[in-house]
Amino acid sequence: MSKTDEYEVLIIGAGPAGMTAAMYCGRAMLRTLVLERGLAGGELLNTEVIEDYPGFEHILGWELAQKFESHAKKFGAEFVQETVTCVRKQDDGTFEAETESGTLYRAPAVILTAGGTPVKLGIPGELEYAGKGVSYCAICDGAFFKGQTIAVVGGGDAAVEEADFLTRYAEKVYLIHRRDELRASKILQKRLFENPKITVLWDTVVEKVEGDAQGLVTNLKTRDVKTQEERDLAVSGIFVFIGFRPNTGIVEGHVAHDDLGYVVTDQNMETSMKGLFAAGDLRAQLTRQVTTAAGDGTTAAIAAEKYLKALKDEGGVPMIVRTGGYAV
């Protein structure tokens, strides 16, 4: 290992939950490190406009992400762009986070806010044409499809919202859904059905992605699940929004979770592993929004602070001394 850095709290993931937790940990004068494999923001970076975060009637996703990050840094939280490969609990009760670079970060408390990864269709051609017409991020790739015909797969909020967003670039958008009704919120459905550029293909699944000699997507093989009728759909791109899996596999050892793999916590966001807290999209809960992620992060940070104080009072893991308001 290249080196070992010690903190009081490690936060794995810099989405809304992680950055809110970082802000509150910083305010509590805890030496806090946020580890994020990419840019800070999480799903905010995959959302063009946020309209349901109190105090911001209309704000760009990346802009809100920057505000979260700068606020957390203002109170002393540190951010490092590293991919965490493993979080393990040591015999002395502290945690160790190992990264791809070989660096070890240690702390007596960890807040897991690593979100999830997009669920793939698992069909022929999907991986082959990834980045060449197959995408999981409308904001990232939408501009490449100006004036073209594309497809969006899914029926939830993300699929419906992104289908509407993609009409800013594409001439025509097919929304492909395997059922005969959408799961998205009513207001998003209303926008979808009122958009003349969108055609919904009900009871339909995509079975294969095809491309041309240049390796670019040109066609989708689809099937009606009720009639079994097969159809070729000429498109130059396909955007997949069928959900995501929580990134909980980095934790070594068993942590209680539900049937879908989402981490189960108590009311203090603490998991079944003492000292390990979870917040945001990877936690089992009713809804996953920026507001709920921020609330989770707040609770997790305050609970972590109390956990560390209890350890200190019990003569366990000592708190790291701070001087002048900053960790040393």
Please name the amino acid found at residue 297.
G
Q: Where are the domains of the chain?
A: 4-118+244-327, 134-240
CATH code for the structural domain at 134-240: 3.50.50.60
pLDDT band at 328 (very low <50, low <70, confident <90, very high): very low
Is the pTM for the entire model greater than 0.75? no
Catalytic residues, which ones? 137, 140-141
Query: Same CATH topology for 4-118+244-327 and 134-240?
Result: yes
- What average pLDDT does range 114-130 have in this prediction? 92
Summarize pLDDT for 74-100 with one digit per residue, the tens: 999 999 999 999 999 999 999 999 999
The type of residue at 148 is: Q
Cα separation, 40 vs 44, whole angstroms = 9
Rounded CA gap, 115 and 245, in Å?
A: 8
pLDDT exceeds 60 at position 114: yes
Helix ranges, the chain (H): 16-27, 61-74, 138-141, 157-166, 186-194, 290-313
**pLDDT tens figures, 182-194:** 999 999 999 999 9
The answer to whether the beta carbons of residues 77 and 34 sit under 8 Å apart is yes
Architecture of domain 4-118+244-327: 3-Layer(bba) Sandwich (3.50)
